[in-house]
Amino acid sequence: MESFVALDLELTPFAGEQQRIIEIAAVRFLGDSVVDSFATLVDPRCGLTARVEALTGICQKEVDAAPRLETVLPSFLAFLGDDALVGQSIDLDLDCLTAAGVRLRNPLLDTFQLASLLLPGLPAYDLGTIARALGIDLEQEHRALGDATVSGRVFLALQERAFHLSLPVLSHINQLVPLLPDWPFAGLFREAQRRRTRDRFTAQGERGRGWAPGQTSASGHLTLSTPSIALNDEELPIFAASSRHAPPPALRPVPDPVPVDPDQLRSLLRPGGAVASALPGYQEREEQLRMMQTVAAALNDGEHLLVEAGTGTGKSMAYLLPALYYAVQNGRRVAISTNTLNLQDQLFQKDIPALQSCLPLEFRAALLKGRANYLCLRRWLVLSRSPNLTAGQIQLLIKTLIWLSVTETGDRAELNLLGPEGELWSGIAAQVESCALAACPHFKKGDCFVLKARRKAENAHLLVVNHALLLSDLTNSVGVLPEYSHLIVDEAHHLEKEATHQMGFTMSWGDLHSFLSVLYQVTSSRRPAGFLPELLETLQRQRLSPQTFEAISKLLSSSEALAQACLEEGHTFIETLNCFILDHAEERPRAGTRVRITSSLRAQPGWSEIEIRWAELAQRLDSLGRHFSRLQTALDDLETGQLPRGEGVLAELAGFQSYLGKLLSQGDEIISEPMPNGIYWITTGPLLEELAVSSAPLHVGEALNAALFSCKDSVILTSATLTTEGSFDYIKERLGLEGARELMLGSTFDYENSTLLYVVKDIPEPTKPACQRAVEIAITDLVSTLQGRTLVLFTSHAQLRLTTGAIRSKLEEEGILVLAHGLDGSRRRLLQAFKTSPKAVLMGTSSFWEGIDVVGDALSCLVIVKLPFSVPTDPIFAARSEAFDEPFRQYSVPQTILRLKQGFGRLIRSQTDRGVVVILDSRVGSKFYGPAFIHSLPRCTVRMGPAAHVAEASRSWLKN
C-alpha cells in the first residue's frame, strides 16, 4: 500500500454514554513517510468530565474556543479523500462519526485486530503496548495527532511482519480468505504472499536453494523450505516444532533426603545476604523468617502445615526458598499451586527469575496449566479440513496458523482471542474428554503441546500450577501433572471452592447440541456436514472393496440417524425439564437462577416424566457410542493407506466415545441415581441452550484427604486469610486436614496506628427499603470529602449499578472520576485509571475483593457496603448448611469472616500506607456475631458512630 491515512479521535465521555468528538486528527503516509497531517480541537457543546480532562489533558476552556464539528468536517473529509484509513480500534471512531452524520466508504484497517494476529503473546493490545513491542517511540498519548501518528507507524511495522511470514502459512491463509469476503486484511496478505513467492524464486535463482528449516529471516521470524502450500499431518509439526530443544536432565531423587538448613536460608535474607542484596528495597521481617523456617521444617520432617501470613509478610519468598533448596538437594519436585493468574505470573515471571539470578545454585522451574489451555494439533487439523467453516472458525484458524509458526507452548494465553474466537477455542483445545493419547499421531511423534509441557514439568525442581489443574488432575484418569510428593498451596482459602467445582460436573443442552452438531448437521444449503458425512466423503475416494465400503457406509448412515435422533430426544428432554422448573419454582426463574434438586422436588409427579425422557435420550446416546465402537473396529481393520490420516480419525472416535461415556454416567447420577453425598441443581437461562443440570460434592474434605493429603509427604497451605477468631478449626474441618501443624503470623504493618475501622451504626439493615438511599448518601459524602482515593466493595452487581447511577453526576461535577466494574471497562483498565487519576473512586464487586494492590495515597479509604454472606438459597450453601447443628454460627459466619478479611486486606499494602476502612453494614454493631468479625481483623483503631460523622472522622484520621 503506497498511501494511507492514520486516523484518531478523542471522545467524551467513555463508552456507554453519548459520545462527542473533542479532538480529531489524521496523518497521511506515503510509503513509510509522513507527508501531511490534519488536527483540530472540536467544541462538543457540552461540559468535559473529570475523566476526560484527566486522561487527555484537554481543558474546558480549550474546547469552548474550538470550532464546532460541522465547521471542521468539510476540510477533514477533503483531507481523507479515498485513501484507506488506519486506526487503533477504528470502528469506535467510525461509529462516532456515523452518529454525527458522516458515512465514510474508505477501506478500514484496524491496528488492534492486526496486532492480535501478528503479535501473539503481548500482555495487552492497547496502542502503547503494541508500539513498545514494535520498538516505536510514543508521542503524546491520548491526544489525537500523537495517537494517529503512532497508529500509522504501528501499521507499517505490522505490515512488515506480515511480509515475513513463511510462504506455507501465507498460502494457507489466502486459501481461507475467499471464505471471508469482507475481511479487511485480505489484500495485505495476498501482497505478502506475492512478495514471499517473488523473494523465494529470486533467492533460489541466486543460491540454488530455499530457506533451510529453522533459518530465520532478517526480522527473526521462522521460515520454511518446503514447497508445499497445503497443510498436512507431516507438515504441521514443522510449524509447531520451534521448541524442539533437547530436554534438560531428569531429576534424580537421592535415596535418603537431605534436610534443608534453616540457618543457611536465614543468611540469604539477612542484610548482605544473596537474596536481600539482590531485591530492591528488601527489608528484613521476622515474620518472614519464622515462616521460612517453619516451612523448611515441614518439608524436612514430612509434615502438613497451615500458615496464615498477614499482609506484608512476604510469604512467597518464605516458601520459595526452602522449597527450591529442598528440591535441588534431594532431586525431588516441589509443586506450588495458586488460585489466581496474577499470583501465578508473579511467581513465574518475577520471583522465581529473581532467585535464579542471585542464588548460588542452579534450578529449573516450569509452569503447567490445564489441558483446555493448550492447542490440540489433531483437532486443529480436523477443523482446518472442514468444508463448512463459519466466519468465526476461519478467523480462529488464521490467527492460530500464524501463531503456530512461533509458539513454543501452544498456550492459549499467548493469543488475544476476539469475539466468537474465544468461544470456538474449545473446538481445538486439548480437552480431556476428546483426548485419546494412545491413538493420537501427534502424541506418538512428540508434537503434542500437552506432552511437551508435561516433559518440561517432569524435569523441573519447582512446578507452578493452579488450583484448577491441581484438583482436576486428582479426578481425571488422564492426568497431566508429573509425580510429586511435596506441595505448597498458596491462596489456600480458595481450595474448597475449587475442589467443589472440579469434583462436580455440569451437563448443558448447549454442550450436547454442539457435540451432536460436530458429528452431523445439515447446513443452510441443505448439504450434510460434520465428522460423519466428511468421513464418508473421504472413504468414497479410496479404493475399498465394495463389501468393505458398504459395511462402513451403513455404520456411518446409522450413526448419522442416531445423532439426529439424539438431537430430537435431547430437545424433548430439555423442554420437559424447563416446563417442570416453570411449574415448581417458588418464583419465576430468571437467567442464572439455580434451583436445587431435593428429594421433595424429585417426589413431584412431573419428575418421573423427566426420568423417562432422560432414559430415552440415554438409550440413544448409548447406541451411538456402540456404533462408534464398531466403526472404530472396522476402520482399524483397513489396510495401510486406505484411510488418510487414519490415526487422527481413530483418535477422534475414541474421544467421542469417552465423552458419551461420561455424559451418560453424569446424567444418570443427576436425574435418576443421586448419590447420598451429592448436591444437584438446575440452572435456568433465557434460552433452552443455557439450561443445565449440575452436581457438586456435599463435603470435599474426605475426598481431598484421600486423594491429596494422605498421598503426599508434605502439604503446606498458606494464605492471608485462614483463621476465624484466631483459630484454624473452620478451614481444617472444611478441607479434611486434621492433625496439621499450625502457624499464625500477624502482619508486619502497624494497623493500630495506620488504620481506622469505622463501623456505621444507623444505616438500616440491607433488607430494609431505606438502606440503599442511606448507602448512596454516605458514599457520596465520604468520597466528596476525601476527594476520591476510595475503593467501594459491593456484594452484587445490581447494587453497584444502582449506586453508581445515583452518585456519579454529583461527584463528577466536583471533578472526581467514578469508575465502576462492569460499566467502565475491564478490571485491568479500571485499576490503571484508578492508580493514575488524582481524584477517583473505584466501585467493585467480587473480583475486586482480592488481588488489588494499590500502594500509597491513591487508595486511602476502603468502603465495605455489606457483609459478604452467601445467598441462602444457593444450592451448595443450602445443602452444606444442613450438615451443621448451628449452620449460621458454625458455617455461614466463619465463611463470611474469611471473605471480609480478604476485602479488608486491600487497603494497607506497605509500611507507610495509612487509611480508613468503613463498614456500612450496621449488623456488625448490632448483631451477636458482630464482634467475631471485628476480632478476626488485624488489631486496628475501631470506632462506631452515625453515618453523618463518617466523612469527617475519615478526613481527620487521614489528616492527622
Cell numbers for 531, please give them. Answer: 465428522
> Of the candidates 959, 957, 960, which has an alpha carbon nearest to the alpha carbon of residue 755?
957
Distance of alpha carbon 545 from alpha carbon 559, whole angstroms: 21
Classify residue 815 as left (phi > 0), alpha (psi -120 to 50) or beta: left
Distance of alpha carbon 315 from alpha carbon 318, whole angstroms: 5
Q: Are strands 790-793 and 755-760 parallel, antiparallel or unpaired?
A: unpaired
For 39, other C-beta atoms within 10 Å of its C-beta total: 17
Backbone phi, psi, residue 709, to 5°: -60, -45
User: CB-based contacts of 484: which residues, under 8 Å, 6+ apart?
Assistant: 332, 333, 334, 335, 463, 712
Q: Are strands 462-466 and 365-367 parallel, antiparallel or unpaired?
A: parallel
Q: How many residues belong to the chain?
A: 960
- Contact between 154 and 15 (Cβ < 8 Å): no
Reply yes or no on whether 142 is catalytic: yes
Which of 142, 221, 797, 949 does the annotation list as catalytic?
142
- Edge-to-edge strand list for the sheet holding 941-945: 817-820, 840-844, 790-793, 861-864, 915-919, 755-760, 941-945
Between the alpha carbon of residue 712 and those of residues 465, 487, 731, 830, the distances in Å are 16, 8, 19, 41
**What's the DSSP call for residue 373?**
G
3-state helix, strand, coil in the chain (%, to 5): 50, 15, 35
Backbone phi, psi, residue 364, to 5°: -115, 145
Q: Over 502-531, what HEC string results?
A: HCCEEEEHHHHHHHHHHHCEECCCCCEECH
Distance of alpha carbon 846 from alpha carbon 713, whole angstroms: 35
Q: How many CA atoms lie within 13 A of 628 on its CB side?
A: 24
Cell numbers for 98, please give them. Answer: 456515523
- Contact between 617 and 671 (Cβ < 8 Å): no
- The answer to whether the bond into 353 is cis (omega within 30° of 0) is no
SS3 798: helix
DSSP H helices, 854-949, are 875-881, 887, 893-904, 923-926, 930-936
CA-atom Rg of the chain in angstroms: 31
Q: How many CA atoms lie within 13 A of 175 on its CB side?
A: 15
- Contact between 351 and 203 (Cβ < 8 Å): no
> Of the candidates 608, 624, 604, 692, which has an alpha carbon nearest to the alpha carbon of residue 664?
624
Distance of alpha carbon 670 from alpha carbon 618, whole angstroms: 13
DSSP H helices, 8-109, are 50-56, 60-64, 69-80, 90-99
The helix or strand, by DSSP H or E, that contains position 131, with its residue range, turns out to be helix 127-133
User: CB-based contacts of 625: which residues, under 8 Å, 6+ apart?
Assistant: 656, 657, 660, 661, 664
> Of the candidates 782, 801, 798, which has an alpha carbon nearest to the alpha carbon of residue 790?
782
Between the alpha carbon of residue 564 and those of residues 503, 512, 551, 620, the distances in Å are 31, 12, 20, 10
Catalytic residues: 142
